[in-house]
Amino acid sequence: MQKHLDKKWWQDRVVYQIYPRSFQDSNGDGIGDIQGIIRRLDYLEELGIGAIWLSPVCRSPQDDCGYDISDYQDIDPMFGSLDDMECLIREAKKRDIRILVDLVLNHSSDEHPWFVEAKKSKENPYHDYYVWRDGVAGEAPNDMKACFGGSAWEWVPELGQYYFHQFSVKQPDLNWDNPKVRQEIYEMIYWWMEKGVGGFRMDVIDQIAKVPELKITNNGPRLHEFLQEMSRETFQKGDLLTVGEAWGANTDLAKLYSNPDGSEFSMVFQFEHIGLDQQEGKEKWDLAPFSFLKLKEIMNKWQKELYDCGWNSLFWNNHDLPRIVSRWGNEKEYREKCAKMMATLLHGMQGTPYIYQGEELGMTNAEYEISEYRDIETLNMYKERIAAGYPVEEVLHSIHVKGRDNARTPMQWDDSEHAGFTTGTPWIKVNPNYPEINAAAQVGKEESVFTYYKTLVRLRRQYEVFVDGKFEMLFPEHPEVMAYTRINGNTEMVVICNFFGNKISNPVKKDWGEYHLLLTNDRENGDADVLTPYEARIYIRCGIDTCH
């Protein structure tokens, strides 16, 4: 069992993502903040998580809710101060929780001093920190589009040049070809490491090595050269969890990113499963029916291909995605059972699981009026599509299904006004279902979604098979059940999930007498051969030396 000696701290822990502005407000201004997070650390300790991925809290004009940074080494006053951040790192450490900082390295804010300087003249030493092209007004260098609508090129008349931005006009792309930019970034990362953070999540990291002439945004030719340099200069000097966001990753690329030799990151977020409900080659708003068999195929592929030569991150949700029970599950009569099933399916696999705030309560999407949304992506798309003649109902429907604000409604703590999130006016409306779905109603309750998640987090630390077990998909063609085994030496774990709302016969036949039922979301069902709607089970058969 040589492998166990090399086990990394982040291989048997679960990461919890906090979207700070929506987590907990401490001063009544309606916006979540760092002191609010500190106040809720006991809740997170109870859940048992080992690290927090904190969405950006650095200084920012908040054009894209903090993903537009104007000072990488200071905290936005809206969220608190550097002292608060240091306090958070310390207080979390006491509870054996590490803080992962969100690094937005593809672009900065246009209000970052680098860009303010860069715009002054072509001779300015900071000019080359960004991506510029000469041109004439009204004739952008090419027709590339920005992710949040409009052209990816913005004209600066004083310079007679365009700058490149893959996201909003207030998010100019940094020029990674410039070694000075890279050096500044490494120094900044090292500064955070010295503050004692546990690692980093790297925003759209596969888009840093862009080549606009060739219309290349992700997976540019110098990408892995840059990442390996960054890793050498920074991460490898610590014992960190590093995870890159890589929309363009396939399994071969993921093996590079998460090479066990540590030359790049610990792992990446890949999004192959996330595109399953959109029309091919179109935008995320262009909805298509979701294929369960395809989901199974993708998960099988990632589990198999990264085994022993990479590491997966496992997630259903984040601050950019709709809530999973609403998206591919059941947010109505089977909401709780379905939330538990989804959790089982994910946490039984190999990799590091991520829980997005509120997922552990089975929080749902929020269907709002257009005036109640706040997200720049949603609002820009709405304007563009309405102007292009799309029917209002159709556009609103896409927003209800896919909009990022589904994930950004305030955390539901209790059934008091504004769900206990703030004593003031929340920056975005609280989901009206908070009297029913909230933390106070679930913590300490045996049958709650929260307690179920807590059990999954604990089992991962308790049974090595969660970390090491080799994955085998059972019945890949079964249209309703996802079932798989994880085998490590003599230990075998069997995970069975009925993904839909029908009562069906259990395709997995074993001599269950030899197995122990580790976890189930339906204690009433005593029949091993029948699966009730959304039922999930984990069985284990222990080898002599591998279980404790």
Residues forming contacts to ligand GLC in the complex (CB under 6 A) are 64, 67, 104, 167, 203-204, 245, 319-320
What is the footprint of Ca ion within residues 6-25 (CB under 5 A)? 25
User: In this complex, which beta carbon is closest to Ca ion, that of residue 29 or of residue 111?
Assistant: 29
The residue number with the shortest CB distance to ligand GLC is 67
Residue 167 interaction partner, one of ligand GLC, Ca ion, none, beta carbon < 5-8 Å per kind: ligand GLC
Number of residues near Ca ion (by CB under 5 A): 5
Residue 27 interaction partner, one of ligand GLC, Ca ion, none, beta carbon < 5-8 Å per kind: Ca ion
Which helix (DSSP H) or strand (DSSP E) does residue 99 occupy?
strand 98-103
| Smallest distance, Ca ion to C-beta of residue 397, A | 33
User: In this complex, which beta carbon is closest to ligand GLC, that of residue 356 or of residue 466?
Assistant: 356
| Smallest distance, Ca ion to C-beta of residue 37, A | 11
User: In this complex, which beta carbon is closest to ligand GLC, that of residue 320 or of residue 331?
Assistant: 320
| Smallest distance, ligand GLC to C-beta of residue 195, A | 22
| Smallest distance, ligand GLC to C-beta of residue 363, A | 18
Whether residue 245 lies in the annotated active site:
yes
The verdict on 81 binding Ca ion (CB under 5 A) reads no
Output the CA torsion 319→322→324→328 (10° steps).
Answer: -150
490 to 415, 464, 538, 547: CA distances (angstroms): 47, 12, 17, 10
| Smallest distance, ligand GLC to C-beta of residue 67, A | 3
| Smallest distance, Ca ion to C-beta of residue 28, A | 7
Please work out, in degrees rounded to the nearest 5, the angle formed at the alpha carbon of residue 280 by the alpha carbons of 274 and 282: 95
| Smallest distance, Ca ion to C-beta of residue 357, A | 16
Closest by Cα among 30, 24, 33, 79 to 427: 30
Please work out, in degrees rounded to the nearest 5, the angle formed at the alpha carbon of residue 301 by the alpha carbons of 494 and 341: 40
User: Per the residue annotation, which of 110, 173, 245, 464 is the catalytic one?
Assistant: 245
Whether residue 173 lies in the annotated active site:
no
Residue for token pair 């098979």 = 465
User: In this complex, which beta carbon is closest to ligand GLC, that of residue 67 or of residue 115?
Assistant: 67
User: In this complex, which beta carbon is closest to ligand GLC, that of residue 409 or of residue 448?
Assistant: 409
Residue 320 interaction partner, one of Ca ion, ligand GLC, none, beta carbon < 5-8 Å per kind: ligand GLC
Residue 85 interaction partner, one of ligand GLC, Ca ion, none, beta carbon < 5-8 Å per kind: none
From CA 48, how far away is CA 257, in angstroms rounded? 27
The DSSP bridge pattern shows strands 536-541 and 516-520 to be antiparallel
The verdict on 33 binding Ca ion (CB under 5 A) reads yes
How is the beta sheet containing 352-356 ordered, strand by strand?
Answer: 267-269, 241-245, 199-202, 98-103, 51-54, 15-18, 352-356, 313-314
Residue 29 interaction partner, one of ligand GLC, Ca ion, none, beta carbon < 5-8 Å per kind: Ca ion
H helices, E strands: number in the chain: 16, 20
Contact 141, 211 (CB under 8 A): no
Residue selected from 29, 45, 117, 522 as contacting Ca ion according to rule CB under 5 A: 29
User: Per the residue annotation, which of 203, 277, 375, 405 is the catalytic one?
Assistant: 203
Give the rounded distance of the alpha carbon of 36 from its chain centre: 21
Residue selected from 4, 27, 286, 517 as contacting Ca ion according to rule CB under 5 A: 27
**Part in contact with Ca ion (CB under 5 A); list of ranges 30-38, 227-235, 372-380, 402-410:** 30-38
Other C-beta atoms closer than 10 Å to the C-beta of 300 total 17
User: In this complex, which beta carbon is closest to ligand GLC, that of residue 218 or of residue 546?
Assistant: 218
Closest by Cα among 541, 537, 526, 539 to 497: 537
- Encode burial over 75-109: b for 16+ CB neighbours within 10 A, e otherwise: bbebbbeeebbeebbebbeeeebbbbbbbbbbbbb
The residue number with the shortest CB distance to Ca ion is 33
User: Residues 501, 505, 511, 512: is their CA dihedral positive or negative?
Assistant: positive
Contact 407, 319 (CB under 8 A): yes
Residue 25 interaction partner, one of ligand GLC, Ca ion, none, beta carbon < 5-8 Å per kind: Ca ion
- Provide the annotated active-site residues: 203, 245
Residues binding Ca ion (CB under 5 A):
25, 27, 29, 31, 33
